[in-house]
Every structure is written in structure tokens, then in C-alpha cells.
A = this chain, B = another copy of it.
Amino acid sequence: MKKKAVINNTSVCQVRMQAISDTMSILSGKWKFHILGTLIEGNKLGFMDLLREIDGIGTKMLSKELQDLEMNHLVSRTVMNTKPITVEYAITEYGATLSPLIRELAKWGIDYRQSVHGSKGV
């Protein structure tokens, strides 16, 4: 008698799995959450602002990740006609729908630190 997978064979679970893959592929990489988080905090930031805010990121990654996020309509890019050209990056209305997710992410990380340092060993 062959045992069959029964727990996640329902279409509900298939959809759930797919949904998690979708979200993670859009938000993949080391910097997406940091960029989004920063833009949610401080609306409208220039390229150099972001470079300064996000500790450790380089121009290549920042540029590439911003393009990804723009392509997915999570971030808007506006070229201003200022003296030395500046660009304003901002979170879009759609991008702002990620706020609860990012809040959960940060919340869990903070609780994690506390559970590790507060009591030793969780």
C-alpha cells in the first residue's frame, strides 16, 4: 500500500505555496526589505540618501534592486530637473501594502534577539 501525500494536496495549500514563492521571488535578495523599509520610513529619498541610510550596500546593488522594485511597481522613480540632476525614490501606494509584512519581519527579529539574550536558549 503506497502512502500518498495528504496534508498539502488541497488546492488551498497549493495556492498558499505558490503565493509564498511569488512573494519571496519578488522580495528576494539581501537588500529589498531594507530598501523598502527605508522608503516606508522616510518618504522620497535620493539615490545617495539611500546609499547613506542603508548600511553596507554598494551602488551596484542599490541601483539593481531599485530597478527590480520599480519594475514591480513597489517603488517610484522620479527624475527631478535640478542643477546636479537628482532622482527621487519613493514607495508607491502598492508598495505600502508591504508595511504589515515588514512590520512582522522586524517584530519577529526583535523578539528573537530578546529570546536569545533574555533567556539563554529560547
Interface residues as binary, A104-122 with B (CB distance below 8 Å gives 1, 0 otherwise) = 1111111111010000011
Instruction: Indicate if the CB atoms of A110 and B15 lie closer than 8 Å.
Output: yes
Instruction: Indicate if the CB atoms of A42 and B106 lie closer than 8 Å.
Output: no
Number of interface residues of A (CB under 8 A): 50
Q: Nearest CB to that of A43 among chain B residues?
A: B7
- Cα distance, A8 to B41, chains bound together (Å): 8
Which B residues touch A4, using CB under 8 A? 52
Binds B, one of A62-70, A77-85, A94-102: A94-102
- Chain A stretch 1-58: residues in CB contact (< 8 A) with chain B: 4-8, 13, 15-24, 26, 30, 33-34, 37-38, 41-42, 45, 49, 52-55
- Cα distance, A18 to B54, chains bound together (Å): 11
Which B residues touch A98, using CB under 8 A? 108
Interface centre among A7, A45, A55 (most CB of B within 10 A): A7
- Which A positions have Cβ atoms within 8 angstroms of B? 4-8, 13, 15-24, 26, 30, 33-34, 37-38, 41-42, 45, 49, 52-55, 73, 94, 97-98, 100-102, 104-113, 115, 121-122
